[in-house]
């Protein structure tokens, strides 16, 4: 089974209450819905490959504690990505300099 890259295209939510059966109290929760898009290929009657897209979703229920935990994890990921962005800028500079040196040799 082949896998394809899914792209996050939208985040939706539904807010409701969950019943705690032990205490009979209502607890607010959110249904988090991540909408994704991925490429889909088909062969038409002429034998041509046609590219389209397929929508998908991932749903989960969580509480404010879960949302805050996700926010914390996402902030850590953003910090790591910023570090990689700085690294890529330095690497791109080295690549450009190497290209210029090769062009100068010609």
Question: For residue 59, which of 11, 19, 26 has the smallest C-alpha distance?
Answer: 11
Dump pLDDT digits (tens) for 46-90.
999 999 999 999 999 999 999 999 999 999 999 999 999 989 988
Q: Beta strand pairing status for 7-20 and 25-43?
A: antiparallel
Domain boundaries, the chain: 1-62, 70-106
**What is the band of 25 on the pLDDT scale with cuts at 50, 70, 90?**
very high
* Distance from C-alpha of 49 to C-alpha of 57, rounded to nearest angstrom: 25
């Amino acid at each position: 089974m082949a896998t394809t890259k899914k792209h996050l295209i939208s985040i939706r939510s539904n807010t409701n209450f969950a019943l705690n059966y032990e205490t009979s109290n209502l607890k607010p929760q959110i249904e988090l819905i991540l909408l994704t898009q991925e490429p889909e290929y088909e062969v038409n009657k002429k034998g041509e490959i046609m590219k389209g897209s397929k929508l998908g979703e991932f749903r989960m229920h969580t509480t404010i504690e879960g949302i805050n935990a996700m926010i914390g994890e996402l902030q850590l990921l953003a910090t790591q990505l910023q570090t990689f962005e700085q690294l890529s800028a330095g690497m791109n500079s080295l690549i450009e300099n190497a290209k210029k040196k090769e062009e100068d040799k010609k």
